[in-house]
């Protein structure tokens, strides 16, 4: 993408987000589009920030932590941001592994209960 800007509607379509989501990210100052009257336009910087926001959300990071990454980049540059990202990623991986273990435990328990119940009714096991 060159120095071209995209509209609010194009930004929603490009990232498959609702207008409400995009407005919320602006409201909490994660995004700062150029404004011309009532119209909003997003440049390279905002598109890059949106990619980071959505990637962070996909991995379960809270918006406040994402805000901190964005601030680190602006205040200290990409190396500092990358270092913080590694620390946060390690922390989030630990949390996701714990959630996976809890989920597997619930699956195993539910499967056992289902099969015990089905066994009494002569229903095939899974």
The beta strand positions in the chain, using DSSP E, are: 6-7, 34-36, 39-42
Neighbouring CB atoms inside 10 A of 70's CB total: 18
Cβ-contact 15, 50 below 8 angstroms: yes
pLDDT (tens digit per residue) in 7-25: 999 999 999 999 999 999 9
CA end-to-end span of the chain, whole Å? Answer: 51
pLDDT at 3: 65
Q: How far apart are CA 73 and CA 78, in angstroms?
A: 5
Residue 57 has which token pair?
Answer: 């959300």
- Entry pTM: 0.78
pLDDT (tens digit per residue) in 36-64: 999 999 999 999 999 999 999 999 999 99
Domain boundaries 1-58, corresponding CATH code: 1.10.1660.10
């Amino acid at each position: 993408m060159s120095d071209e800007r995209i509209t609010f509607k194009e930004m929603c379509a490009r990232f498959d987000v609702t207008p409400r989501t995009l407005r919320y990210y602006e409201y909490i100052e994660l995004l700062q589009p150029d404004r011309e009257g009532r119209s909003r336009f997003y440049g390279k910087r905002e598109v890059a920030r949106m990619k980071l926001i959505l990637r962070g959300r996909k991995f379960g990071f809270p918006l406040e932590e994402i805000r901190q990454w964005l601030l680190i980049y602006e205040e200290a540059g990409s190396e500092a941001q990358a270092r913080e990202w590694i620390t946060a990623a390690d922390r989030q991986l630990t949390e996701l592994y714990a959630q996976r273990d809890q989920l597997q435990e619930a699956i195993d328990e539910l499967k056992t209960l289902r099969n015990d119940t089905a066994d009494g009714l002569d229903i095939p096991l899974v």
